[in-house]
Amino acid sequence: MQSYQIAFIPGDGVGTEVSDEAIKILNTLADKYGFQLRIETFGWGCDYYLQHGRMMPDDMLEKLRAFDAIFLGCIGDVNKVPDHISLTLLLTIRKGFDQYVNLRPIKLYPGVDTALKNASPSTVDMAVIRENTEGEYSGTGGFYKLGTPDGAAIQTAIFTQKGCERVMRYAFELARKRKKLGDSPAGMVTNCTKSNALNYSMVFWDKVFDQVAQDYPDIKTDMALVDALTMWMVKNPEFFDVIVASNLFGDIITDLGAMLQGGMGFAAGANINPEKRYPSMFEPIHGSAPKYAGKGIVNPVAAIESIRMMTEHLGETKAGKDIEAALNQVLQTGDVKTRDMGGKHSTAEMGDAVKKALLSP
């Protein structure tokens, strides 16, 4: 029997609540498809920090190394720990496990309302590939003469040939796959850039994009400056297929994307090490929402979507398709709606509805 070892990090705030639903769905699939799960839960996060003076043990990466995949609820609670400290947990895993692809599908499920007039399941179906280990998030820099009138800060963005090339290649491969599957007849990669102003980093980025594109003559290319892209994504979402973006730009445009797909409660992300040398990590992209924590009211669909991506990454393709079908059914029927959807159902009720759909013949 196929068996998977999954590391669960529920994290902070509503992270723990959506994690419960994610586990529920994962266990349901294991029973249905006959694979075995060994789930180990790690209680790292802001409460751990208050107890131990650090977000996670020093040997976190060694502890996680042998798992087949990691699920993360979400990390951060600014009332307890400053964000730039708490988020080291997340960023250490992304970088430490060379999860250089952050795959964020922007897909509107039928039955889900958005703020956008022209959004429909057929117009909102794209994927952002966010570089996830370098760029503006390289973490290099320093302070100078702090506390004096000359005080200054430097934050350096690092773009390497290898780093740009591999993530762009992944984007082109994904466009090819989507084209083949008929998800997108166009087969196009949009280069999200800002080379009009960032005359070193983004000029370099564009150059690598053009080099990589040469290897994919069957895939169309497109280029958009990030500021204009935020406008086009709202105005003409149907135009986009795969978008490749640097770490920071990808971060920003995927929150915009979340609104196209109905809100943060629907936006999921996969931090992938495509070579599978290290475990990949799956997480909803929303935060820990401290003001909603403990109320059981947030939408677990993003977390469940993350489980869908996890099962596909593990090779349980049927299980992944099954989650998609179950979500389609539950959301389209509209009998169960969490607060963000204008309903009154709880986090657990939404999880239960998806579970029921998975188990119905």
Nearest approach in angstroms of CB 132 to ligand IPM is 8
Query: How big is the chain by its Cα radius of gyration, in Å?
Result: 20
Nearest approach in angstroms of CB 356 to ligand IPM is 30
Nearest approach in angstroms of CB 99 to Mn ion is 15
User: From the CB of residue 309, how many other CB atoms can be counted at a distance below 10 Å?
Assistant: 23
DSSP-assigned beta bridge partners for residue 224: 192
Residue nearest to Mn ion (CB): 251
Nearer to ligand IPM, 111 or 284 (CB): 284
Structure tokens at 111: 């039955």
N- to C-terminal Cα distance for the chain?
23
> For 43-99, what is the HEC assignment?
CCCHHHHHHHCCCCCCCHHHHHCCCCEEEEEECCCCCCCCHHHHCHHHHHHHHHCCC
For ligand IPM, which residue of 68, 136, 183, 251 counts as binding (CB under 6 A)? 251
Residues 283-312 binding ligand IPM (CB under 6 A) are 285
SS3 helix, strand, coil % of the chain, rounded to 5? Answer: 45, 20, 35
Q: Applying CB under 6 A, does 87 fall inside the site for ligand IPM?
A: yes
Alpha helices in 126-263 (DSSP H): 161-181, 201-214, 226-235, 247-260
Phi-psi domain of 289 (left: phi exceeds 0; alpha: psi -120 through 50; beta: other): left
Nearest approach in angstroms of CB 210 to ligand IPM is 27
Nearest approach in angstroms of CB 255 to Mn ion is 6
Nearer to ligand IPM, 35 or 159 (CB): 159
Structure tokens at 214: 């040469």
Nearest approach in angstroms of CB 6 to ligand IPM is 20
Nearer to Mn ion, 168 or 245 (CB): 245
Nearest approach in angstroms of CB 120 to ligand IPM is 25
Chain-centre distance of CA 307, in angstroms?
A: 11
Q: Which does 327 bind (CB under 5 to 8 A by kind): ligand IPM, Mn ion, none?
A: none
CA angle 270/255/176 to nearest 5° reads 50
Nearest approach in angstroms of CB 329 to ligand IPM is 28
Nearer to ligand IPM, 223 or 248 (CB): 248
Nearer to ligand IPM, 26 or 90 (CB): 90
Nearer to ligand IPM, 27 or 156 (CB): 156
Give the DSSP letter of residue 169.
H
Q: Which does 87 bind (CB under 5 to 8 A by kind): Mn ion, ligand IPM, none?
A: ligand IPM
Q: Applying CB under 6 A, does 256 fall inside the site for ligand IPM?
A: no
The answer to whether 67 and 3 have CB atoms below 8 angstroms apart is no
What residues make contact with Mn ion under the rule CB under 5 A? 251
For tokens 């669960």, the residue is 8
Nearer to ligand IPM, 61 or 87 (CB): 87
**Distance (Å) of CA 258 to CA 233, 252, 266:** 11, 10, 7
Size of the site for ligand IPM (CB under 6 A): 5
Q: Applying CB under 6 A, does 349 fall inside the site for ligand IPM?
A: no
Nearest approach in angstroms of CB 121 to Mn ion is 24
Q: Give per-residue burial for 50-70: e unless 16+ CB within 10 Å, then b.
A: eeeeebbeeebbeebeebbbb
Nearer to ligand IPM, 166 or 286 (CB): 286
Strand segments, DSSP code E, in 215-331 are: 220-225, 242-245, 268-272, 280-284
Half-sphere exposure of residue 72: CA atoms within 13 angstroms, side-chain side: 26
Nearer to ligand IPM, 184 or 201 (CB): 201
Q: Which does 68 bind (CB under 5 to 8 A by kind): ligand IPM, Mn ion, none?
A: none
Question: Can you give the binding site for ligand IPM, defined by CB under 6 A?
Answer: 76, 87, 90, 251, 285
